[in-house]
A and B are shown apart, each in its own frame.
Chain A
Amino acid sequence: MAATCGRLIARFLGTLLAASLLIFGLLRAVPGNPALVALGVTATPEAVTALSQQLGTDRPLSIQYLTWLGGLFTGDFGISLASRTDMTPIVLDRAAVSLILCGCAVVLALLIALPLGSWAALRAGRWDAAVVSVASQLGIAVPSFLAAILLVAVVSVRAGLLPAAGWVPPAQGFGRFLSHLALPVLALALVQSAILTRYVRSAVLEVAGRDFMRTARAAGLSRPRALWRHGLRNAALPLLTVLGLQLTSLIVGAVVVEKVFALPGLGSLLLDSVAARDLTTVQSVVMLLVVFTLTVNLVVDLLTAVVDPRTKR
């Protein structure tokens, strides 16, 4: 047990180290000088050199890398090259916002996709299943930012029902927090649910054709009950993997929705930092994303083991 844990941790840390080297190296290879970006069109070569010294970007690469890595170990994400402020509270804060946004979107998407997808699978070949299938294809074709803009135009600006932009922390007013969260989550969830519906449908179809389902039917269970008692855990396996992938891609992929709703999320922080060549912030945020992805993968693996007793750990 200890050996397994030890191996897991070693693998985790090794992946992180490799990722950090890759991120650091790639960012230095990209054209663009943070000091030049900060000084803009009035920059002079002397000023760029002086500012690079102030920012510390003229130090040897190995020193910069080790300083950054050392900071990460102590939970210090570094000083932003653009805003010259400590990035740690900001990065963690944005990550929390993104997690809430994407977590709620995935949960809502699941709540829509599970019944719809199962329905479409159980009634495969009938007209209502075809309607669900076409609707889900439409949903995948519609980009989330288009859904966002339409929602803002109709619900916020015209009807005035919900706010058009901004974020309120839950501690500062739960009602306002929900009202600001509703539209962005809906915009993301609509598209995610379309994708998940198709996965649920194909997973349920695949399970419905299995032998043990026929046995359960033969034993007297109706199709929905058989699916619920026996088929669900089998259908859940591919779905868990897909959910993990969707969640990790959504954390940063929600950047356009963040822009439309002016939400302080991780995607827009990453985009703005890349534009400003704020190397420290980009590095730290990407490392955070790597940690998040590895954690999600680990959780998916654990859940798979819980759901499927056949999996040997």
Chain B
Amino acid sequence: MFRTRKTRYVNAPRRVYHRAAVGATALLLAASLSGCTAGHTAAVGGRAPGDDSLTVATVAAPASLDFTTTAGAAIPQALMANVYEGLVRIDASGNVVPHLARSWDVSAGGRVYTFSLRDDVTFSNGDAFTAETAKFSLDRVRSDAWTNGLKKSMDVVSDTRVLSPTTLQVTLSRPANSWLWSLGTLVGAMMTPNGVDELATRPVGTGPYVVDAWAVGEELSFRARPDYWGDAPQHEHARLRYYPEAISATNALRTGDADVVWNMTAFELLDTLPSEIAVHVGSTNGELLLSMNHRRPTFADVRVRQAVMYAIDRQAIIDTVFEGYATNTGGVPAPPTDPWYFVSDRYPYQPERARELLAAADSPTPEITLAVPSLPYAQATAEVLYSQLSDVGFSVTLEFLEFPAVWLHQVMQQRDYDMSLIAHVEARDIPAIFGSPDYYLGYDSPDVRSYLLKADSGPAALEAPRMRRAIEQILADAAADTLLNTPNIVLTAPGVTGINANVVTDALPLAPISRGGGD
């Protein structure tokens, strides 16, 4: 055994190692220092000790805060009733009640509305709310500044006039029952000329809250305004926290990071929740619409469309995909909160009838492609549809399309589809979907358009029966199948009050929600 010389690596002198070590340490220090604030533009996770703010967890974050140029329910859900308000408000039963307008008169012709406005309202930037700002807001919807398709509600307005600082006169080109109701939605949001420069990041409204911080796609935090004209909200600070999916949102509730989970879509978790978490079930404006392209020869025949309506067991879809929590409307494309809602029994689940109709239409085995958007509920529903339609003779091919980009492009824009399904969540959208021959459905019925027009421009008392007539015609034509009305499941921690789970307009009002003394 001989002793070895202590090994030295003579090729690299010591000072190279020295330099390398010093350089590495410096780099590490610099990296750690700059990493100190990593994530500061995002939302802070969890709840800091002593934080009493209301935290509502939900999925589907809004892309920006500007609903004038971006569609979707997420933006009005966050901002309407919290930051923005309208001349009127829609209450929990779906009725129009005064809000920023104390009262209004409608001229005998039904075309001239004269609003008497409140005089004690200010915007969050200090501007006073007057008839001028109201006129500005309504005119802006009709201008090019708004690209959101819902601006169509304002097409019926022909003139807006300021009669006094608290009196606004609006003249419609024809009487329109739906117009006043639409003022309670996002097209009626009152804005001020000095507050529209940064709509995407800094909305300015008359509501009880202002936006404190907007961590894009993550969290929207609100701060109560001391100069709000109405009742102060239950919590000075509130926030909407957006999670990537329903399970992590529910976990946040379970670990105390959130007080409320809104629009919880992981229905399979509901049975596993501890008993102290309350489950509120409400309806929404979302109808899960199974569309059939009227421009395609297969679906040009009403008997084939009716065969589809008979072939589908809507209750099975509700039980399988939504764990029984959705509402079966029998194909009626309206939510339970609309005055003209009814449950239809015209198309019960009768596969035999479907086969008869297909035989009568001389196409016992039509080949169709079902274009499915890449949304969880759509993909699950498509599987059930596949088996139900194949059962009666359809030869179905499932085509999965990325949502939103590819589905919107292929189905909505290019109309390159046979059959598709998507939840339409806009409020009172029957005219937009079934009254528009250019829409992707391709449904062209002058009768339905006439009924819809009569319902809107006739006496208010006749609106509901006439809408029902239109719906009956839509069903008779089997224009499209409404598989179900999508549910809104709200979970609350113990002690939380002030929740109304029925979504009538898009708004999620945070002001009345209280964490209670508990937790």
List chain A positions with a Cβ less than 8 A from chain B: 31-33, 35-44, 47-48, 50-51, 54, 80, 82-85, 89-90, 93-94, 96-97, 99-100, 152, 156-157, 160, 163-173, 176, 180, 219-221, 229-230, 258-262, 264, 268-269, 272, 275-277, 306, 309
Given contacts A42-B150, A164-B251, contact A31 B406 (CB under 8 A): yes
Task: Report how far A305 CA is from B147 CA in the complex, Å.
Answer: 58
Quick check: B72 and A96 within 8 Å, CB to CB?
no
In the bound complex, do residue B148 and residue A39 qualify as a contact, i.e. CB atoms below 8 Å apart?
yes
B70 interface residue per 8 A CB criterion: yes
Q: Are B147 and A54 in contact, CB atoms less than 8 angstroms apart?
A: yes
Interface extent on B, as a size class? Answer: 35 or more
A156 touches B255 (CB 8 A): yes
Residues of A within 8 A of B217 (CB): 83, 269, 272
Find chain A residues with CB under 8 A from B109 CB: none
Docked pose: A156 CA to B20 CA in angstroms: 41
Contact B413 A170 (CB under 8 A): no
Point out the residues of chain A lying under 8 angstroms from B426, CB to CB: 41-42
Q: Which residues of the partner chain B approach A306 to less than 8 Å between Cβ atoms?
A: 12, 16, 20
The listed residue with most B CB atoms (<10 A of its CB), out of A32, A173, A269, is: A32
User: Is there an interface contact between B147 and A51, defined as CB atoms closer than 8 Å?
Assistant: yes
Contact with A along B1-17 (1 / 0, CB 8 A): 11110010101100010
* Complex CA distance for A4 and B72, rounded to whole angstroms: 54
Partner of B70, one of A38, A173, A258: A38
Report B-chain residues with C-beta under 8 Å of the C-beta of A37. 404-405, 408
The answer to whether B64 touches A82, judged by C-beta atoms less than 8 angstroms apart, is yes
Query: Which chain A positions have C-beta within 8 A of B403?
Result: 275
Shortest distance from the beta carbon of B422 to any chain A beta carbon, whole Å: 7
In the complex the two chains form, is A33's CB within 8 Å of B147's CB?
no
A38 contacts B69, C-beta separation under 8 Å: yes
Q: Give bound CA distance, A100 to B7, whole Å.
A: 37
Q: Could you give, for residues 209-250 of chain B, a 1 whenever the CB lies within 8 Å of some chain A CB and a 0 otherwise?
A: 000000111100000000000000000000000011100100
B residues in contact with A97, CB < 8 Å: 38-39, 42
Query: Given the complex, which residues of B lie within 8 Å of A35, measured CB to CB?
Result: 147
Contact at A176–B422, with CB atoms within 8 Å? no
B251 CB contact (under 8 Å) in A36, A43, A152, A171: A152
Is there contact, CB below 8 Å, between A165 and B12? Answer: no
Q: Are A50 and B147 in contact (CB under 8 A)?
A: yes
List chain A residues, Cβ under 8 A from B40. Answer: 93, 169, 171-172
Q: How far is the CB of A35 from chain B (nearest CB, A)?
A: 8
Task: Name which residue of chain A comes closest to B61, CB basis.
Answer: A272
Q: Please give 19 more A-B residue pairs, beta carbons under 8 A apart, in addition to A37-B405, A39-B147.
A: A31-B409, A33-B413, A43-B71, A80-B216, A93-B37, A96-B39, A156-B251, A157-B251, A160-B255, A164-B251, A164-B254, A168-B46, A171-B36, A172-B40, A220-B1, A229-B7, A262-B45, A262-B243, A264-B42
Neighbouring A residues of B147 by C-beta, 8 Å: 35, 39, 47-48, 50-51, 54
- Listed residue (A36, A80, A165) with the most chain B CB atoms within 10 angstroms of its CB: A165
Which A residues touch B413, using CB under 8 A?
Answer: 33, 36, 43
- Over the window 143-162 of chain B, the binary record of Cβ atoms lying under 8 Å from chain A Cβ atoms (1 yes, 0 no) is 01001111000000000000
